[in-house]
Structure 1
Amino acid sequence: MLKRVFLVLLGLVVLALSTAWFLRGEIALRVMARTMDRNLAATPSDGLPDGLHVALCGSGSPMPDPTRAGPCTAVLAGNRLFVFDAGSGSVRNLTLMGMAPARVERVFLTHFHSDHIDGLGELMLQHWAGGAAKTPVPVHGPTGVETVVGGLMTAYGPDRGYRIAHHGEAVVPPSGFGGEARPFAIGTGPAQVTLIDEPDLKIRAFPVDHAPVSPAVGYIVEYKGRKAVISGDTD
């Protein structure tokens, strides 16, 4: 009797696994759709007062450290999420912190040291695939950011095709792939460059000394009378 019960249960398990195998594509699509819905339903500012909030999604250096991701600062202005630099591992931290990459409105780069940009490809990918983005994420940076963004989009070009073919255009709209470089010129003096100028929100860039790296900038984020300054790397 026990042997018969065991064989029946074994048969049911084999049947279930076989069904899951043949339906794996449909199951994957449903899981991704559910993940996107969850990412877009919750806002990073849930439970926080309306204000200016700063979070460290990475505080490491180029030296390997299992407890530190590469440089990355997340700024919440109300319910709008901005990311400054994107070091290795920082995108996973964003997700673990409840700030889904799909919710990132814009990315700002302080300079082009490898440890500040080596997570940018993943951020652009997760912004696209994690939220069915229809437009690329804007990536602001001093002159040269177009080379960085263009290079990463070239590197991720084959993957773009794979993901569209596998998941379909409803999940990964072709128009939302990658990033849109938004370069700005910056001098060596105290002059600032205004990147966002709205009644409640202003974001400005200013030059910093990070020789021999040039250009290098910091950013000022001002929201409803509160201000955060992100220096980037500087003396």
Structure 2
Amino acid sequence: MAYNEKILKDDNFRVFLIGSGGPFNNEERVASCIAVIAGGEFFLVDVGPGTYRIVDIMRLPIPHLSKILLTHFHSDHIGDLGEANMMSWANGRTKALEIYGPEGVEKVVNGFIMAYEQDTGYRIAHHGKDTIIPEASTPISKTIKFNDKNEKKLCFEANGLKVYAFQVDHSPVRPA
């Protein structure tokens, strides 16, 4: 499949609103997701159900997806986490996907690893270790811990791009 890899190499800061739907099915919108391409990085903020399909249809450079930032753990923000990890890897991602999120992200990531464990094995057997890199299939959780509610935390920095997280009030959801 041909992905638009040229947009990784220019100096533009690109933001794509992939999904703006809520937790209930909507025939016009998929759930929450924002794609960002800047500083040679491609990452997603939230990956609600249906969002991976839109990323693929848009021909965003999915083999270069390096990070996913989860704002909180409602299903309409995490539902396509497994699909985004699996398909970016099956399409050529060569490094483990980093998943950033508040406390609890490790539990969420480990759940998706467990759910996709058999499929990972099937894809390695089908495509072969010369085609896909087994070590890149397992995402890495990165917990963002806050000491106080007004604090901002640096999630990552790459090629002059700095991405910060901060807390919001999404009661009764904590942390968010």
TM-score by length of 2: 0.92
Q: Is the 8 A contact 1:44 1:99 kept in 2?
A: no
Q: Is the 8 A contact 1:186 1:215 kept in 2?
A: no
Question: Cα offset for 1:70?
Answer: 1.1
2:45 is aligned to 84
1:108 is aligned to 69
Greater fraction helix: 1
Gaps of 5+ in 1: 1-34, 217-235
Q: Quick one: structure 1 residues 172 and 49, their matched pair in 2 at CA, closer, same or farther if it must change by over 3 Å?
A: closer
Percent of aligned pairs sharing the same letter = 37
Max Rg structure:
1
| Matches of 1:185 and 1:80, distance apart in 2 | 23
2:5 is aligned to 43
| Matches of 2:116 and 2:158, distance apart in 1 | 34
Per chain length, whose mean CA-contact separation is higher, i.e. which structure has more relative contact order (CA < 8 Å, sep 6+)? 2
TM-score by length of 1: 0.70
Gaps of 5+ in 2: none
| Matches of 1:174 and 1:78, distance apart in 2 | 27
Q: Is the 8 A contact 2:15 2:36 kept in 1?
A: yes
Question: Cα offset for 1:45?
Answer: 1.3
String of CA shifts for 1:132-154, please: whole Å, max 9, x gaps: x3321000111111011100000
Question: Cα offset for 1:165?
Answer: 1.0
Q: Is the 8 A contact 1:53 1:77 kept in 2?
A: yes
| Aligned-pair Cα RMSD in Å | 1.8
Q: Is the 8 A contact 1:59 1:71 kept in 2?
A: yes
Equivalent residue in structure 2 for 1:148, among 94, 108, 116:
108
| Matches of 2:54 and 2:100, distance apart in 1 | 21
Q: Is the 8 A contact 2:31 2:50 kept in 1?
A: yes
Q: Is the 8 A contact 1:187 1:207 kept in 2?
A: no
- Matched residue count: 176
String of CA shifts for 1:164-208, please: whole Å, max 9, x gaps: 111111222211113111112124421111122456211111110
